Amino acid sequence: TTISVSDSDTVLKRKRPPMLDLTSTPAIASWCGTTTAAKTPEKAAEVEEAEKDGYYAVYCKRGRRGPMEDRYFAAVDDPDEGARKKAFFGVFDGHGGSKAAEFAALNLGSNIEAAMAEAARSGGEVGGYSIERAIRDGYIKTDEDFLKEGSRGGACCVTALISDGELTVSNAGDCRAVISRGGAAEALTTDHNPSQANELKRIEALVSFL
């Protein structure tokens, strides 16, 4: 599942994607108010596509194995004058079923938004480290809430939060965010897996072996 973001409705016609304009003000839906979860194609050849007024596009295609287990979330703010400008995008790569990916797609954005709102209410500035902390808190709450469901399976994910022209990306697992700079793909995240020395040490400290 991939999400591309653009400031032009011709993005799907271009061979080379344009650079991302983080300061544009899309007039689409309310932030975290519209959820577009990828449907499960009945046949491997079928795909799921979505495009919103040229601001973002989504393309999903099921692989050769089993049902589609991936989900996505895309929402862009339509702020009143003086309101904060926000957009949130997420790709969720499910495994062992689609329940975890769907749960995260439906809840992660709102959990991050709630954490940001709580930071603002407590007098903390919602920016810089506070945004990073809100995203971390949103990830943790989503994980904890899913565990309470007693469902099996899991999901990797990558998210992008655009707030007042600043982009914050995050990931859990090997989902990766990529941006186009001058037509060249540049990774914004590092795959989160046990092949990383620091992640291996963290896991071994928790379970003694891997």
How far is the C-alpha of 86 from the C-alpha of 165, rounded, in Å?
A: 8
Domain count within the chain: 1
- Contact (CB, 8 A) for 193 and 172: no
Tokens for 28? 């689409």
Which of 33-47, 90-104, 187-201: highest mean pLDDT? Answer: 90-104
Q: Quick check: 9 pLDDT over 80?
A: no
Q: Which phi-psi region, left, alpha or beta, contains residue 165 (left: φ > 0; alpha: ψ -120 to 50)?
A: left
In CATH, what number is assigned to the domain containing residue 170? Answer: 3.60.40.10
Mean pLDDT for the chain overall: 75
How far is the C-alpha of 135 from the C-alpha of 116, rounded, in Å?
A: 8
Range of 168's domain? 2-207
198 confidence band (pLDDT: 50, 70, 90): confident
DSSP at 8: S
Q: What is the pLDDT of residues 120-177, one digit of tens each?
A: 777 665 555 688 899 999 999 999 999 999 988 999 999 999 988 889 999 999 899 9
Tell me the sheet residues that pair with 54.
none
How far is the C-alpha of 58 from the C-alpha of 5, rounded, in Å?
A: 9
